[in-house]
Amino acid sequence: MIPASSQPRIMLVEDIPAMRLLVRQMLRSVGIDQILEANDGSTALQLLRAQPVDVVLSDWNMIPMTGLQLLMAMREDPATSHIPFIMITGEGSMEHVRRARSAGVNGYLIKPFGLDALTRQLTKLIRWRPAA
């Protein structure tokens, strides 16, 4: 297990409880237990202003605030603009990828994704190595 002091703090933003549970289980399986959760972008934005995190993992399609809108709001706010952002979506079209990149996304995961893909994205963006 990773010592709590060296664990990244993750914000998981997903409106589907089963998907949130699945990603939470993936994160815990590699030793990440510091996970804040929100079921939409507006709730996530409020939490991010109160509790800093190392990475945001967010679904794209949510209401009332989408993952893309959350990303744009974070990039406009000096307090959150530096936080790495990984977009999670079932949509892999080049248009979606282009929109996310132009908004400042750091990583992109297309559903369904596995533990290896998630781990690769996290290790690319933060100083962390998964638990053995």
Going from the first residue of the chain to its last (132 residues), give the mean pLDDT of each consecutive group of 10, the final group possibly shorter: 65 96 96 95 94 95 95 96 94 87 95 94 81 59
pLDDT for 126:
85
- Cα distances from 39 to residues 35, 52, 104, in angstroms, run 13, 17, 21
Question: Is residue 131 in a domain?
Answer: no
For 32-57, letters b (16+ CB in 10 Å) and e give beebbbbbbbbbbbeebeeeebbbbb
Prediction pTM value: 0.91
pLDDT for 96:
87
Q: Which of 62, 106, 107 is nearest to 81 (CA)?
A: 106
Question: Is residue 91 in a domain?
Answer: yes
pLDDT for 4:
47
Number of domains, the chain: 1
pLDDT for 129:
66
CATH number at residue 94: 3.40.50.2300
pLDDT for 97:
87
The tokens for 84 are: 């790495």
Question: Is residue 120 in a domain?
Answer: yes
pLDDT for 70:
97
Round to whole Å and give the CA distance between 38 and 23. 13
The tokens for 30 are: 């590699």
Phi, psi dihedrals of residue 9, rounded to the nearest 5° = -100, 120
Q: How far is CA 111 from the centre of its chain?
A: 13
pLDDT for 81:
95
pLDDT for 2:
40
